[in-house]
Structure 1
Amino acid sequence: MVIDTVLFDLDGTLMDHDAAAEAAVLAGVAAELSGRALDGGTAPAAPEFDRDAVLRFWRRIERTEYDRYLAGELTVQEQRRTRAVALAAHLGLGRWSAERADDWFAGYLRRYRESWRAYPEVPDAIEELGAGRRLGVITNGEGGIQRAKLRAIGLAALAPHTTASGEAGRAKPDPEIFHLACRALGTAPERTAYVGDRLDLDARAATAAGLFGVWLDRAPAGPGPGTAPPADVPRVRSLTELPALLGAG
């Protein structure tokens, strides 16, 4: 196997989306609950709420509504609005209007952007993998914001080589988005690796498209049996393991 191109997923692979999203939603909920207390005439105080429950709800609604957007059922703004409305209902804040939901989500996006960070090992791994190989990104999302993330986390060199579903008209796991990226970089699928944090959507989808799919499993191993590695695709725990897996460029 000769791999001369490595493509990456973005959120959860290069950028710590979960940490940024969690910081943004928790700050937004705290501000909302503080505001409700002030409206009731009480003194401002740090609001009490179940942070873990909020995060579980937010992760679930984010995935379901974003998948609906990728399927063409909702626009970008509609999926944002439905998430905000659902969160307000979950918190007992009543039924928000579209304008109220859009305003809250705009604040969420500002806080989310402020928290964009690459995973610690990413800069060194990208530098090592880029020696003798072409690099790029395939991401389910809007091209503008995804390239802005790459620039913000110090990976601006990858921005011009990014294939985004919002522009391609195809989303992972559709094989065509992988083939579009390969054609854009002038590489053959069988000489291209694709690395992502979702087993089915990234690693297995890339493998089905003829690429060398790699699952990046960032879940801590911890005590006990843990998750057995899949038999059909290789698993790495960190991007630092990729050079050894892929061999010389």
Structure 2
Amino acid sequence: MVIETVLFDLDGTLMDHDAAESDGREYDRAEVLEVWHRLERREYDRYQAGESTLQEQRRLRAAGLAAHLGLGPWPDGRADAWFEGYLWRYRNGWRAYPEVPQVVRELGATRRLGVITNGEGGIQRAKLHAIGLAALAPHTTASGEAGCAKPAPEIFHLACRALGTAPERTAYVGDRLDLDARAATAAGLLGIWLDRTPPAPGTSPPADVPRVRSLAELPALLG
């Protein structure tokens, strides 16, 4: 089947979220980064599932990091203030991965492009503008506006309808195997896993979805 439309995840796929987070945090140890990523994924996934509010998940991430660092329990006010400072530094670190502009230009010459992201629409579109991908902002489906979130098939179908494309003629690429690639596949799209981690000895790619190590591999994969 010919792929007419390519949809992307944003954080960790088009935008170097980890690098921006390194600018946002006050602590740079690798072990702290691992804890912060674990807190982010756990609390943001709970927020997307409707188990907490946006502000509550931010507080839980800040308080969880403080507890890990031995700073004691943080009241809501202190957690809110720390997270506001984090967000200011994080926004200053927004940037695309090096290969992204060329890949977007190349694919955009022959295909429709868009974004599906679990996040608040205003913030996510601001990221696209900041990293030089403003043309994708009007074609962005954000969970905060859609009323559904990845991995639910509804958000993939909603994005396809918005761009006037059939799921079977649409590819979706993201950096999380289950939340992105496999969820897109289950929704009837061509799900592609972007795995930027260095390959470990003895590991093999998943059998159910294509894997790329860089977005620069996409044009050749899609033909």
TM-score interval, smaller chain: over 0.9
- Structure 2 unaligned segments of length 5 or more: list them: none
Measured in 1, the distance between the counterparts of 2:34 and 2:192 equals 27
Shift of 1:22: 2.3
Measured in 2, the distance between the counterparts of 1:56 and 1:132 equals 39
Measured in 2, the distance between the counterparts of 1:51 and 1:238 equals 26
Measured in 2, the distance between the counterparts of 1:91 and 1:191 equals 48
1:46 matched to which residue of 2?
Answer: none
Measured in 2, the distance between the counterparts of 1:54 and 1:139 equals 26
2:218 matched to which residue of 1?
Answer: 242
- 1:157 is the counterpart of 2:135: yes
Shift of 1:6: 0.3
- 1:107 is the counterpart of 2:90: no
Shift of 1:191: 0.5
- 1:174 is the counterpart of 2:152: yes
- TM-score, length-normalised on structure 1? 0.87
- 1:22 is the counterpart of 2:22: yes
The aligned length equals 223
Measured in 1, the distance between the counterparts of 2:169 and 2:33 equals 39
What does 1:124-143 correspond to in 2, within 5 Å?
A: 124-143=102-121
2:8 matched to which residue of 1?
Answer: 8
- TM-score, length-normalised on structure 2? 0.97
Shift of 1:97: 1.2
Q: Which has the larger radius of gyration?
A: 1
Shift of 1:53: 2.0
Cα-to-partner distance string for 1:127-179 (whole Å, 9 max, x where unaligned): 00001210000000110110000000000000000000010011000000000
Shift of 1:96: 1.2
Measured in 1, the distance between the counterparts of 2:83 and 2:169 equals 41
Percent of pairs with identical residues: 79
Q: Which stretches of structure 1, 4 residues or longer, exceed 3 Å deviation after superposition?
A: none
